Structure 1
Amino acid sequence: MPRGSSPKRERQYEHIKESAEERGASAKRAKEIASRTVNKERARAGESATASKVSTRDPKSASQRGGERSHSGAQGPTKDQLYEEAKKRNIEGRSSMNKQQLRKALGR
């Protein structure tokens, strides 16, 4: 944590770090996750001297997003995420589609 951080941000950092460790992240990875999350929250709240455009313009905070973008790796979004997108787009027959079919219907 940067010097001069508020007690709230210190508590937030510790909570996120402990939570990540409980989920099986290494101590180093847990610290990185906590630091990035808290720094982004500080930037959004105007508590940091510098902030990226992404940090300040993202409509959802990292805590609100809750890992929405975390499934963009090798296998891409989960079936549930694809289904929710298909629901938003009102795609017919989505409830009986498998992951591959949902991807195709969404044009992915």
Structure 2
Amino acid sequence: MSFKEFKNKKIIKILTNSFVLISIPFIIWMLFFDENSYLVHRKFDLEIKDLENTIHFYKNKIEEDKATIKKLEDSLQLERFAREKYLLKKENEDIYIIEFDTLKK
């Protein structure tokens, strides 16, 4: 008996083992078809990562807004903010908005 025949017999013996015959379909089932499969877990992990990024974004926005609110406690800053963002004006005052054409012709 040559080494190649011995190796083929050994592989066949391993593959026909009842434990292997049951384990392989079980592993395939658990990885791809089960309700709690690897693919489902991977999708949930990506969703969790996306939600954590969203949380981080909104925490940064909250910090920026808190800084803006603290800055607006000063009446001069509040007036400046109202003029720039909402185009508010005082009585008997005219506002001119100047727009520059930045498009190349």
Output the TM-score relative to the length of structure 2: 0.23
Larger CA Rg, structure 1 vs 2: 2
Structure possessing the higher relative contact order (Cα contacts under 8 Å, 6 or more residues apart):
1
